Amino acid sequence: MLSLTKKSDAEPAPATLWHTNFRNFERLPDTKVVRTTFFVNTAAIAITIGMLLWLASREMNIHGIREQIAEAQGQIESNRKQNGEALRLSKLFADEQKKLTEAAAFVKTPVALLQFTDQIGQTMPKEIVIDYIEARMIDPKKSNVLVRGRVAGSPDQASGIASAYVDQLKADANLATVFDPITLMRIDRNQDGTAMAFEISLTVKAAK
C-alpha cells in the first residue's frame, strides 16, 4: 500500500526573496499628474497679485482723499475771503446806518437846539456858568438834554441857587411843553474847589 502524504510535507517551502532598499524618496521625481510645486507657485502668485491690487487700491483711495482735501481747502480759502469782505461791508453799512439814524433823530428833535441854548443863556442867573450842553436824541424813548455848569458861592448857597434855577426851568412854559421831568442830577465841589459843579437833565416827553 502506498502511504498517503501531504504535498506540503513532501516539498520544502520556497525561500523569501529580499534586498536592501536604497531609494531616496526626497530625490525621486514627482510622478503625479499635477505636481505639488504647481499649486505652491500658483498660490504664491495669486497672493502676490492680490497684495499688489490691494496696495494699488489703497494708493488710489489716498490720492482721492488728498484731492478732496485740497479742493476743500480751496473752498475754505475762497469762502474766507468772501466772509471777510461781507463782514467789512456789514460793518461799513452799520456805521453808515448809525450816522443816518443819528441824523434822522436830530432832524426830528422836538425842540430847536439853537433856540433852546439861546433861551438857557438868556434866563441863566448871574451866579451860574454853563460849561456843556449835550442833546441825546437817538433813542426816542430816552431822549434828553444834559446841562452841565458851575455855580458860585458856599455849598449851601450854591445848592440853593441851582435848585432855584431848576424850578425856573420847570416854570418856563415853552420848556414845559417839551421836557418832563427836569431834574437836578448832581451838585458837588469841582476839582479846583472854587465853585460847585452841577448837572441838570431835561427829559423829552414821550411822543403821543
Which tens digits make up the pLDDT trace of 145-168? Answer: 888 888 887 888 888 888 898 898
Is pLDDT at 61 greater than 50 in this prediction? yes
Domain stops at, among 61, 92, 107: 107
197 burial via Cβ count (<10 Å: 0-12, 13-18, 19+): middle
How much is the pLDDT for 1?
45
Total count of domains within the chain: 2
> How much is the mean pLDDT over the chain?
77
How much is the pLDDT for 23?
63
- State whether 97 and 135 are in the same domain: no
How much is the pLDDT for 27?
67
Q: Give the Cα separation of 137 and 109 in Å (integer).
A: 7
pTM of the model: 0.44
List the domain range (segments joined by +) for residue 125.
113-204
**For residue 143, what is the domain's CATH number?**
3.30.70.2830
